[in-house]
Amino acid sequence: MIVVYIMLTIGIGLIGYGIMKKDSGEDTDHKMENFSISLMQELERTNKRVDDMQHEIEQLKTKEMMLQEQLKYAENKQETVAQ
């Protein structure tokens, strides 16, 4: 999410710079429109990567819980055999 905020900040700054630079109004509008489209596309890709990473984290947490249960079972079995 930090990456998204940084990208939005940079985008807003570049749009502001484009306005301050005062290209011809039509040219600036076209550049801003293209930039907005590319920024939204990058935001969508970033959000998809974040969603994929969150899904992977959930899978790893599930795997960790399963391994912890297996370890507990193995420790209990070892204690039973030792007695």
Tell me the torsion sign for CA atoms 58, 60, 5, 41: negative
| Structural domain range at position 27 | 2-82
pLDDT at 15: 76
pTM across the whole model: 0.54
Instruction: Determine the Cα angle at 67 with ends 76 and 62, to 5°.
Output: 135
Whole-angstrom distance, CA of residue 39 vs CA of residue 8: 8
Hey, which of 27-31, 37-41, 47-51 has the most confident mean pLDDT?
47-51
Which tokens sit at 52? 């994929």
CA-CA distances (angstroms) from residue 44 to 9, 13, 33?
16, 20, 17
What is the average per-residue pLDDT within 19-42? 75
Total number of domains in the chain:
1
Q: For 44-67, write each residue's pLDDT tens digit.
A: 999 999 999 999 999 999 999 999
